[in-house]
């Protein structure tokens, strides 16, 4: 189901949307299996038109993704309140991106290295150096292929 944005006056252009997604610090991954929704906050990187995150090889998230690869991913920033004369005329200032896509598990070691280096750089850790061999055995890389994405803002 693909709907047009109701408030198109608040829609960010695609370049702004991608920049905001790339720079956001925390994303929320929404999944579903057996009619049970599940959403979690994750660290991620966005490059090559995909959203990448790493995790352990087992756990609830992996169970959900193994059963249903369709996901929704969201990032946002609360930028304050614009006070009105009455409570009903006050508004929130914000930016947000919502992406829909399909998650897949990545086995390619070179892509894992690149994503882990980018994660390290984004979150202030080391972005260079070598990885010990066990890193790739205990680390799962997940890529979300973005099928559609919108950005919205009220500044």
33-39: list long-range contacts, CB under 8 Å, 24+ apart: 33/63, 33/64, 33/67, 33/68, 34/67, 38/64
User: Given a cut of 70, is residue 1 above it in pLDDT?
Assistant: no
C-alpha–C-alpha distance, residues 91 and 110, integer Å: 46
Chain segment 9-53, per-residue pLDDT in tens:
778 999 999 999 999 999 999 999 999 999 999 999 999 999 999
We find that the CATH architecture of domain 8-154 is Roll (2.30)
Chain segment 101-144, per-residue pLDDT in tens:
999 999 998 999 899 999 999 998 766 667 777 777 788 999 99
pLDDT (0 to 100) of residue 126? 66
């Amino acid at each position: 189901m693909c709907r047009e944005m109701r408030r198109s006056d608040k829609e960010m252009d695609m370049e702004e949307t991608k920049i905001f997604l790339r720079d956001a610090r925390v994303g929320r991954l929404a999944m579903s299996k057996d009619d049970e929704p599940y959403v979690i906050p994750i660290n991620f990187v966005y490059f090559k038109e995909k959203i990448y995150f790493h995790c352990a090889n087992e756990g609830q998230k992996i169970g959900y993704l193994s059963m249903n690869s369709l996901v929704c991913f969201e990032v946002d920033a609360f930028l304050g309140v614009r006070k009105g004369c009455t409570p009903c005329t006050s508004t929130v200032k914000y930016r947000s991106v919502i992406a829909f896509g399909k998650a897949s598990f990545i086995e390619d070691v070179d892509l894992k290295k690149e994503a882990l280096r980018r994660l390290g750089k984004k979150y202030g850790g080391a972005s260079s150096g070598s990885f010990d061999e066990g890193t790739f055995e205990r680390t799962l890389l997940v890529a979300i292929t973005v099928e559609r994405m919108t950005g919205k803002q009220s500044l």
